[in-house]
């Protein structure tokens, strides 16, 4: 089996998300959102949560809440809390979309390479 095959589902020739992919999406994309977004390319939300737990990460919800709380330490003191929270949530949404799109781009490139060059046989 080639190295390229290791990232592919043998029955559907689809890229399967690797632990690094899940960690890259942590904590701004929840396990259920990952499963919904990437479908058969993803493990179940429960399995993703267990992966996070195994490597010592808190749940995505707890990790995101901690991130937001810590962001207040760099907040402009002249900006009220609601404005700061709105700003932080906009930035999280931007980064979330960027990370998801970057991963989809990588998935497409890998799948195209493997299908075009027929490395799956």
d(C-alpha 64, C-alpha 116), whole Å: 39
Q: 118: how many CB neighbours lie within 10 A of its CB?
A: 8
Q: 62 and 52 in contact (C-beta within 8 Å)?
A: no
| Residue that the structure tokens 């906009």 belong to | 90
Q: 30: how many CB neighbours lie within 10 A of its CB?
A: 19
pLDDT tens by residue, the chain, 121 residues: 444 444 555 556 789 999 999 999 999 999 999 999 999 999 999 999 999 999 999 999 999 999 999 998 888 888 898 999 999 999 999 999 999 999 999 999 999 888 765 555 5
pTM for this entry: 0.83
């Amino acid at each position: 089996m080639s190295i390229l095959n290791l990232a592919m589902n043998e029955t559907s020739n689809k890229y399967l998300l690797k632990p690094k992919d899940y960690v890259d999406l942590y904590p701004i994309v929840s396990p259920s959102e990952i499963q919904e977004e990437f479908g058969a390319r993803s493990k179940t939300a429960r399995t993703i949560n267990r992966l996070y737990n195994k490597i010592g990460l808190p749940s995505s919800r707890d990790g995101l809440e901690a991130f937001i709380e810590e962001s207040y330490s760099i907040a402009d003191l002249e900006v009220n809390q609601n404005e700061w929270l709105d700003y932080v949530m906009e930035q999280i949404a931007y980064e979330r979309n960027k990370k998801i799109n970057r991963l989809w781009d990588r998935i497409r490139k890998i799948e195209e390479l493997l299908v075009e060059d027929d490395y799956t046989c």
